[in-house]
Structure 1
Amino acid sequence: MTNNIIEVHNLSKNYQVTNRSNGTLGAIKSLFKPDKRVIRAVKSLEFSISAGESVGFIGQNGAGKTTTIKMLTGTLFPSSGYSVVNGFDPIERKKEFKKSIAVVMGNRSQLFPDLTPRDYLQLLKSIYEIDGKVFESTVARIAKLLKIENKLDVQTRKLSLGERMKVEFLAGVVIQPKILFLDEPTIGLDVIAKRDIRKFIVQLNREEGITIFLTSHDMEDISTICNRLIIVNKGSIIWDGETDKLLNKFGRDKYISFTKSEFFEISKINQKVVDQDQATITIKVPKNEVDKTLSYLNKEQEGSNFKIHNLKLDDVIFELFSKGY
């Protein structure tokens, strides 16, 4: 018997779009003889997630992350393939399925501005038929963890962005889901709010056993919360494995960043350039060549303000994309 709480088999999603020409004649032509093309947002995804895992599903903009979440939660129908989420086919959108999942999106609120958080939570209690004692206990416990006990009776529109996001998490968890889908949950938040939410998600996963499926462009979210990464590029998976293994795979190098001097010449850089703009540049250097490289750059007067840092997750992902995986 499988312990997989999410199974994805050959899952694909295509969108048909119409190319429209400029001007009146172009509009008329598009009306009677539309020029259509197909965009493959997700291409034959294949993966499984065990109950209790904390998985980061990441990639560049347009990689198909949000589309995949929408298919796994029954919001979108796949063009081909299928998925099984907590034993259900999301397409059928059964009541039991909807009770078993929660979705929190950082750029889309489910709250009602004119209601207080407590009013909205009471609404969820009725919709999801939650036992009264269990409901009150869960609200009190999670509100305390999120440090919003004194915000539950404040009109939602009067809360800060960070406070509203914490209420979103409370609303997601109060229904006691088996799986928590998170799409950019810390976007726009300040450092303190991000820290609190990351700590809460990690604790939720470890103590409650809730499966976490997270998409984010914030690498601190990913590295703090996720033990496993599924990286997608142009709708296809290019990496699926433990976060630590990915870091170790690319952990033989260091990165040197510095400010370019007036004598800077790119032709003198004999190491791989990772990133640069008009003022600064970052190069990748094998660990055993760092001192030699710094000495050379100083001698050639290539720059100043040299900074050496270890591999970071966003550096790794950049490497994967640049190699065309």
Structure 2
Amino acid sequence: MEQERIDLTQFAARIEELRQQISQVIVGQSENIDLLLTAVLANGHVLLEGVPGVAKTLLARLLSKLIDAKFSRVQFTPDLMPSDVLGTNVFNMKTSDFDFHAGPVFADIVLVDEINRAPAKTQAALFEVMEERQVTIDGTTHPMGQFYTILATQNPVEQEGTYKLPEAQTDRFMMKITMGYPSLEEEVAILERHHANQRLTSLENIAPVVTKEELVQLRQMLDGVFVDPVLLRYIAAIVMQTRQSKAVFLGASPRASVALLQASKAYALLQGRDFVTPDDVRFVCPSILQHRLILTAEAEMEGITPLKAVRRLIEKVEVPK
């Protein structure tokens, strides 16, 4: 029986407008913007890595504005406690009962700034909310909204005094997006914009383009995206390569395979298609796998990064015709 096609015409224009609005505020980073939209559409959390000043926080705030989502920001510091993030029960003298005061983690899009600055106890407070989309405090469960997404940033340079994320936590991020420096032309464009209008990056006048409800509706379309069985085998073969490579000490888990499938389907939808191609898989693969691999000491001494390792592994797997 032939699969019913999905009508994407109503969303194609909205997604393109979303891209246009982002590009008016942020110069360049088009691939990273596509990856971020893909992760949001695939219902995944994102780890944004880059040196200070490459618009990580601006991108997160801009995205929440454009989809009319409730935005919250938490600055992780060494003295931050789990209750500062999740919230706490406070005794109410009038009612002689405890009232729950929700923490900043209760929003649609939560920006966790410099997640590796806080100790393991506070990082672990995000475990349940990332995986189950709920928080349990004093035996009471508080569910999150349908659209709940965590965007966490970390600085790859200043590692002194930071707490490296454990593998179990990095695995819960669907993607790790590395935001690099702009090119010379992009840097000139940034300077020209600021010279012409100093308040260009102000987000006060940004109007929403897509509603949360429409994005949730688009998420539901993921199940209808066609994936050829050959591509399922292709995804499995790439992940299997991470477990067999001599350069990799710890390979990717089945959770990575599922994330790769979902992200490929989401990226296909963003391109206005209801079917996945090998190029979709190859585009999202590095950001899905790079943070899930632990390299051997020999590979690290040779200067191989997880991103380089993933790209080499992808090339080893034959692309389906």
Question: If the TM-score is normalised by the length of the shorter chain, which range does it land in?
Answer: 0.3 to 0.5
Whose Rg is larger?
1
**Normalization by structure 1: what TM-score?**
0.37
Identify the structure with bigger relative contact order (alpha carbons < 8 Å, sequence gap 6+). Answer: 2
Query: Could you state the TM-score of these two structures normalised by the residue count of structure 2?
Result: 0.37
The structure whose residues are more often helix, as a share, is 2
Instruction: Kindly indicate which of the two structures has a greater share of residues assigned to strand.
Output: 1
